[in-house]
Amino acid sequence: MVVVAELWGCGSGSASPEGFTAAVNAALEENPPAGLYDLLDDASRARIRTQLQELRGRGPGPQKDVLEQLGLTGVTSFDNVSPREYFAAMWLRAVGDTKLTAKADLDADRGEGSVTLTTPGGKSHAFQVVRAGGQWRWMLPGG
């Protein structure tokens, strides 16, 4: 949960900057927003998978507590949760039902840039974006 909490005090990429912005905005409209996971870079996905593996290694009691905190009702073990579902649950816990919009500022020549997510109230947070394998991918902070 630490990774997503950093976001707001809290599959596939796209080859074009416009396509990436559209993909992020479409993923933000999903409920739950699991598509955001698909747009992450490999290192960020690896961090999510590692966190999930660590949770799977805990006993049933601690797992139940975290599952409840994430709102994963009816799930009895993290063995039944995919990295995509885990990320979406963490995202919803951190962001709630706040409607966000995305705008990307990407430099194709350098293969890097940023995507800024903004709330209706104007609060925004920028995330680093890199081009990997011909696709734009956003990165979680601290990676």
- How many angstroms separate the CA atoms of 21 and 9, rounded? 23
Contact yes or no for 101/118 (Cβ under 8 A): yes
pLDDT at 116: 95
Contact yes or no for 92/102 (Cβ under 8 A): no
Contact yes or no for 24/80 (Cβ under 8 A): no
- How many angstroms separate the CA atoms of 123 and 3, rounded? 19
pLDDT at 94: 87
Q: What is the pLDDT of residues 1-59, one digit of tens each?
A: 333 333 333 344 567 888 899 999 999 998 888 899 999 999 999 999 999 999 999 99
Q: What pTM, to 2 d.p., does this model score?
A: 0.83
Pick the range with the lowest mean pLDDT from 10-14, 73-77, 94-98, 100-104: 10-14
